[in-house]
A and B are shown apart, each in its own frame.
Chain A
Amino acid sequence: MPGGLYTYRVHGLRVSMEAPCPGLMLAPNTGDTDVTVHLGEVPRELREPVVRGVAYQATADRFLLDVVSVARFLVTAGSEIRVQPHSGADQTSVQLFLLELVMGAILHQRGLLPLCGSAVETPKGAIVFTGPPAFGKSTLAALFCRRGHRLLSDGVCCIDTSGDVPRLQPSQARLSLWHDSLQRLRIPMDGLTSVRSVTSQRFWCPVEQVSNPVPASVRAIYVLRMQNESRPALQKLSGLEATRALTDSTVLPGLLQTAGVHGARHFLQVCTVARHAQMAAVTRRELVWELDRLAELLEEELAA
């Protein structure tokens, strides 16, 4: 497929766009692309959608997302993204939703497993932090980067289960961190850009970029949980608990029902990941800063 003006390497895919997208890893423009992003008219409804969320509709190979005041996105066959920005939408917002949810839909359609979370590479393989928003995924990744590990992805983590072991595809070289995390990490906010101009609490924080990123085998997945009644704790997950945690952490879980196709494949994917990777629930308390202690605990756990 012919490319656009800008070609980036995102989750191991060559993605071509008509506009530059800061924070992504540039790919050599060889002409071929896996995914093309372009502006165009997007319908308000899909014909005969199989699943419907409040903001999206989907069939087995089409996904339509409408983000209020930002844009409508149409994803087709894992290879094409059409974008129709809403009136007054800013480019930063359009790119944010494009790189998170819309790329998540692309990965689903291509048979890859997109997890919500952040990932870093350690000498023993990739470790993924997953869990609900603002539970500390990106902050833990930042703490691991400070300890000398390399950032692989933030926001969406793409796992390829087609080989002999699950592998995580590197993505972007920046973290999105909340204002309070930046303060805790003593990262100066000068020069950082907000992830969306209309929300001022979350910022892009660039990290060192490697020139030739390669996929990393998935060593461990830590599922962050918040529980006020508990002390910080680490509890191993296996079997049904592990597969359920992975399903809960999947980007756009509603799509797993699509014509039964994504659902069956997804089940095999999470079983494969749960079989190969160490999985644990990491419980932390609300309003208590203990992520640096958690990072130490997890490093000790990995070294054991």
Chain B
Amino acid sequence: MSPIVWLASYPKSGNTWLRAFLANYLRDAPEPVDVNDLGTDGIASDRGRFDKFVGISSSYLTDEEVDIYRPGLYELLAAHSPETLWIKVHDAFTRNEAGKDLFPASATRCALYVLRNPLDLAISLAHHAGRSVERCVPLLAEGEGASESPKGLSKQLRQRYQSWSVHVTSWLDLAPFPVHGMRYEDMLARPLETFSAAVRAAGLALDPERVARAIEHSRFEVLAAQEAETGFRERPAAAGRFFRQGRSGGWREALSREQVSRIVQANAETMRRFGYLAETEETEPGGTGGDPRTLPVQ
């Protein structure tokens, strides 16, 4: 069986929370796993890993040239790993200029895809990147820009996020391997049910007691306390804290009507499909009361 399980999401959608849960589930230790030692297998856009396994310094390549090598990189990692590789990814599911899927089915067992209300994402993204919400809205709405380092070279390769709805549908509808979708809001509201489904989808044996323990050890308060005590090495330089609020619905106090309108207009169909835009809320969009059973699980 191919060893890579992609832990995919738009940035700030709950990916680190999922990784913390999986780390705690896999280790099943009496104490929470250190947030700086989750033991998952890094991010797909890790520049250092690219340079090491491709054999070329990516700093000399264009983004398009880098993307030519990326499918081969993941196939090489898969071929040399006797164990499951849990790799975080924030790129949309796209193809490179040679027409190859960036994340090849031949290297993949499945993907766990976390999605979150794009209205809440706007706020989290702004804090994460140290930018105004106003500057994050065009990214979510129209997919303007990718994660490019403003000065010099980033530790990450170029990641193509696209708009929120293109990102969501690229993974859930286009990827040629099993993709299990899970909503951040359901991870909050129904953690036992939601994380148990993720465990099954990843091909792990389901142990309900272990799931409950892993949920407890990866609660927002636990992760935030660890960050406060020892820091979090994945925190971007521009962000004050990585684990900020861990809740949903904050957009109601933080976004202007214009910002809400622009994100909703651009993403309405996908928001409605995943319960973020109930028919009754067309005039005041962004409800999170959608039926989780409508979420397609492949």
Contacts and interface: CB of A to CB of B under 8 A. Distances in A.
Interface string A273-304: 00000000000011110000000000000000
Given A65-B55, A68-B69, A133-B51, A226 B60 contact: no
A254 interface: yes
A209 to B, nearest CB: 24
Interface string B129-153: 0000000000000000000000111
A134 B59 contact: yes
Task: Determine which residue in B72, B151, B238 has the highest number of CB atoms from chain A within 10 A of its CB, and name it.
Answer: B151
B62 A254 contact: no
A254 B52 contact: yes
Contact of B55 (A55, A133, A179): A55
Interface stretch (A14-22, A23-31, A40-48, A198-206): A198-206
Interface in B214-232: 230-232
Given A68-B69, A132-B47, A254-B52, A229 B235 contact: yes
| Interface size of B as a range | 20 to 34
A201 B154 CA distance: 12
B236 interface: yes
Contacts of B73: 54
A302 B35 CA distance: 37
A254 B152 contact: no
A227 B233 contact: yes
A226 B47 CA distance: 14
A189 to B, nearest CB: 14
A199 B62 contact: yes
B233 A228 contact: yes
Given A101-B57, A229-B232, A181 B152 contact: yes
B58 interface: yes
Contacts of B155: 132, 226, 286
Contacts of A50: none
Contacts of A288: 237
Given A68-B68, A180-B152, A253 B52 contact: yes
Nearest to A67: B56
17 contacts: A53-B55, A54-B54, A54-B55, A55-B72, A65-B55, A68-B69, A69-B65, A97-B56, A133-B153, A178-B153, A199-B60, A201-B153, A229-B230, A254-B52, A254-B55, A285-B237, A286-B237
Given A134-B153, A229-B230, 16 more contacts: A54-B53, A54-B55, A54-B73, A56-B55, A69-B65, A132-B47, A133-B58, A133-B59, A180-B151, A195-B60, A199-B60, A199-B62, A228-B233, A229-B231, A286-B155, A286-B237
Interface of A: 52-56, 65, 67-69, 96-97, 100-101, 116, 132-134, 178-181, 195-196, 198-199, 201-202, 226-229, 252-254, 285-288
